[in-house]
Amino acid sequence: MERLGRSWSPGRSAFASVAWIGGALAWTAAAVIGAVLTVVFAATMVVIALMSSALLAFAAVALRAKRTVRARVDPDLIEARHVGGHSWVAYGWDERR
């Protein structure tokens, strides 16, 4: 005798279709969450790139400003250097201009 369709067998569950639908929903949810995380990660990388380029621009402006600004020379100012402990050495105190 020939079988006309699928019949219940001990290996098949009565909830196979419900499990299949649940698996499809879980797969869809995982794909959506993965897509959202991808967009968030890409936006994070763009923000990091913008902040680093702004930091480099400010550093370049600061270096350019440092090169152009010269310190004023005060003829009454003497220079002192710390040589260790409580000792200092002063330069320029004996030279009067």
For 33-57, how does the pLDDT look when each residue is reduced to its tens digit (9 = 90+)?
A: 999 999 999 999 999 999 999 999 9
The reply to whether 47 falls in a domain is yes
Q: What is the mean pLDDT of the chain?
A: 84
The reply to whether 81 falls in a domain is no
The reply to whether 96 falls in a domain is no
Give the pLDDT score at 97: 53
HSE-CB for 73 with a 13 A CA cutoff: 3
Give the pLDDT score at 4: 59
Q: Look at the chain and report how many structural domains it folds into.
A: 1
Domain of residue 32: give its range: 17-70
Q: Which amino acid makes up residue 57?
A: A
pTM: 0.52
The reply to whether 56 falls in a domain is yes
For β-strands 87-91 and 79-84, DSSP reports them as antiparallel
The reply to whether 8 falls in a domain is no
Evaluate whether 78 touches 92 at the Cβ level (below 8 Å): yes
Positions of the chain with pLDDT lower than 50, given as ranges? none
